[in-house]
Structure 1
Amino acid sequence: MPPSPEPGPDRASRSPSASASDGLWSIGELAERAGTTVKTVRFYSDSGLLPERARSAGGHRRYAPGALERLALIRSLRNLGLPVSQVRRIVDERAGAQGALEDAVAAHLHTLGSRLSALRWQESALRAVQEAAPEERAERLHLVGALDTPPGTAPLARFWRAWLPPRMPAKARAVFLDAAVPQPPDTPSPAQVLAFARLCALVRRPCPTGPAARPTQPAAHRAAGPAESALLYAGLAQAYDLAAVRMRGGVDPEAGDALDCFVATYASVLRRRDTPAFRRALARQLALDPRLDGYWELVERLLTPEGGRPEPTPGTAHDWLRTALDTHLAA
């Protein structure tokens, strides 16, 4: 490497005050006091982060003593990984510098979080492939290799938007999507990566078409208009929440406020009274409705941490309430 054209540091002068008669430091003196190299100081100067105060008669850079504090700030920010563009905004700002620092740190933390999450997903995806039996390895590689890292929920949301009533109010639709679309964990296990990959593959499958194709929506869903669909899914969400409390407590399906809310929701949408005859007709209809068991089983796997207890989902809560209805009618 060719020698630096800048003069070396004045090793006779160790005080924090400027050593030259003009009160300025050479690039070597500044580098020595900062505990860094001339090459580093030159890089920050050429980047516009550390402007020199003047040039000597020989064209060498001269720095004011205040450059030492500025250089320390620059190095601290760069050591934390902040890009040069953000460092420049922070060191150049006089008023409101604290706000610029806070914004830059928050933005960089967000970027790092995304990178770390992506690495965790990649690691768990590789472990899922590594742990597979030889005959399953190709399928797993295809599944997890189709995922972005970290993955997004857009395919799941598109599936449900197409499934819901077309004229469903936007607010009710958003509430339903929050409940039906699971958020991928930041630190997934290999089993959770596989579950999410299978979920995405499931919702991308084309729906059956033709005269022999069965309806994909429940009867109450197909009969509901905009107002009724909002009422239907708001009432079901409340019933599912009530059932989830019983499920977390290990309670078997039973009659109670959760079942009453469940039945009352359907009765209101269908403009019927909640009578024993209606409950029997509802049980028969629910038994004929299309089911999305595979979706909810995968959601349960995704939401359940390794070795943890299964977390209720809208699908498992719906099954609990259906069983409660059947048990109630049988009694």
Structure 2
Amino acid sequence: MPLSPEPDPGPAPGPTSSHDDLWTIGELAERAGTTVKTVRFYSDKGLLPQRTRSAGGHRRYAPDALDRLDLIRSLRNLGLPVPQVRRVIEEQPGAQGALKDAVAEQLRTLGSRMSALRWQESALRLVEESAPAERAERLRLVGALDTPPSTAPLARFWRAWLPPRMPPKARAAFLDAAVPQPPDAPSPAQVLAFARLCALVTRPCPTGPAARPTQPAAHRAAGARESALLYAGLAEAYDLAAPRMRAGADPEAGDALDCFVATYAAVMGARDTAVFRRALAGQLAVDPRLDGYWEQVAVVRTPEGGRAEPTPGMAHDWLLAALQPPLAA
């Protein structure tokens, strides 16, 4: 007698699920490839709400919780903190603003961390490569820096040094030239130079009857108009001198020196004469010197193996040397 065919068993059963198409916390964790502890953590944070609870008080999740959990884990794997994850998943469907902002903020955070690590690495290399007699002092210098370092001490120094009535626009232009930005990936030499700059500007000024003035004579007589005129004219003179300095030319007379002298003459209400040039050379020669500052600025701004660009301080010294006799005669 022929056998009756076996009934079709239908598709193979999937993972065990609870009633009404809801999943237990273990079933959701299994489908997501994670742990129950992880699912419970996000549930407790309100990021992964359960649909309901069983009669015994156990959490039950709808199938769409799997997509929500995958999104949460993707965002967390990219380093986004829980508050940012919350803003992203609570945003209206189709909107991307919260996600875009969260990614941008995380990129900024990572960039700052990476820059800090590069500064720490270069500082450690500096200490490692230093001669034994220099190691302790260099460790003290670079150990005082934040990583990455702040330019705030340098800016404070120059704001106090510049003429008090200097217009904000002129002041900002000078600060751009005088305050070097920390390199993103510094060499050990650049780390040391920046540390020396910060130490220089935070060193106490000498006091007492024998202390020398700390500002140029031109500052003491400069009002708002004069200080703006002074620094705009000096910037022009430095720009004119820079090509000759790059070419390795010795200090010399020319357009740069004429602009340099004319600037001081205009501020002082004088005429550009041989007598004025001799007097100006004498005055500038006894003005406070910041040579050490500008030497370190040149190092900070020069990439490893690159060629140093003239700084305002270097250009000033070059022009002052050009002003000295016999060129001033």
Normalising by the residue count of structure 1, what TM-score does the alignment of the two structures yield? Answer: 0.88
Structure 1 range deviating more: 118-127 or 240-249: 240-249
Shift >4 Å, 4+ stretches: 18-21, 249-252
Look up the equivalent residue of 1:52 and give its one-letter code: Q
Look up the equivalent residue of 1:85 and give its one-letter code: P
What is the CA–CA distance in structure 2 between the aligned matches of 1:256 and 1:24, rounded to whole Å? 87
What is the CA–CA distance in structure 1 between the aligned matches of 2:216 and 2:137, rounded to whole Å? 32
Aligned to 2:3: none
What is the CA–CA distance in structure 2 between the aligned matches of 1:180 and 1:303, rounded to whole Å? 11
Structure 1 range deviating more: 274-283 or 264-273: 274-283
What is the CA–CA distance in structure 2 between the aligned matches of 1:84 and 1:23, rounded to whole Å? 29
Aligned to 1:272: 270
Shift of 1:125: 1.3
What is the CA–CA distance in structure 2 between the aligned matches of 1:328 and 1:41, rounded to whole Å? 84
Structure 1 range deviating more: 172-181 or 21-30: 21-30
Secondary structure of the residue that 1:155 maps to in structure 2? helix
Which of 100, 106, 109 in structure 2 is aligned with 1:108?
106
What is the CA–CA distance in structure 2 between the aligned matches of 1:184 and 1:22, rounded to whole Å? 61
Contact 2:230 2:267 in 1 (8 A): yes
Shift of 1:250: 4.3
Secondary structure of the residue that 1:210 maps to in structure 2? coil
Q: Which has the larger radius of gyration?
A: 2
RMSD of the alignment, in Å?
A: 2.3
Contact 1:168 1:226 in 2 (8 A): yes
Aligned to 1:233: 231
Aligned to 1:5: none
Aligned to 2:13: 12
Contact 1:235 1:261 in 2 (8 A): yes
Contact 2:252 2:327 in 1 (8 A): no
Normalising by the residue count of structure 2, what TM-score does the alignment of the two structures yield? Answer: 0.88
Contact 2:125 2:188 in 1 (8 A): yes
Distance 1:12 1:43, change over 3 A: farther
What is the CA–CA distance in structure 2 between the aligned matches of 1:242 and 1:54, rounded to whole Å? 77
Identity %: 81
Aligned to 1:156: 154
Shift of 1:77: 0.5
The gaps in structure 1 that reach 5 residues or longer are 1-10
The gaps in structure 2 that reach 5 residues or longer are 1-11
Distance 1:253 1:96, change over 3 A: farther
Distance 1:328 1:171, change over 3 A: farther
Contact 1:254 1:327 in 2 (8 A): no
Distance 1:28 1:249, change over 3 A: farther
Structure 1 range deviating more: 287-296 or 215-224: 215-224
Shift of 1:315: 0.6
What is the CA–CA distance in structure 2 between the aligned matches of 1:327 and 1:111, rounded to whole Å? 56
Aligned to 1:211: 209
Shift of 1:228: 0.5
Structure 1 range deviating more: 239-248 or 185-194: 239-248
What is the CA–CA distance in structure 2 between the aligned matches of 1:167 and 1:106, rounded to whole Å? 40
Distance 1:138 1:113, change over 3 A: same
Aligned length: 318
Contact 2:278 2:328 in 1 (8 A): no
Shift of 1:289: 2.1
Aligned to 2:4: none
Alignment of 1:116-135 (within 5 A): 116-135=114-133
Which of 260, 263, 267 in structure 2 is aligned with 1:262?
260
Aligned to 2:191: 193
Aligned to 1:242: 240
Distance 1:12 1:326, change over 3 A: farther
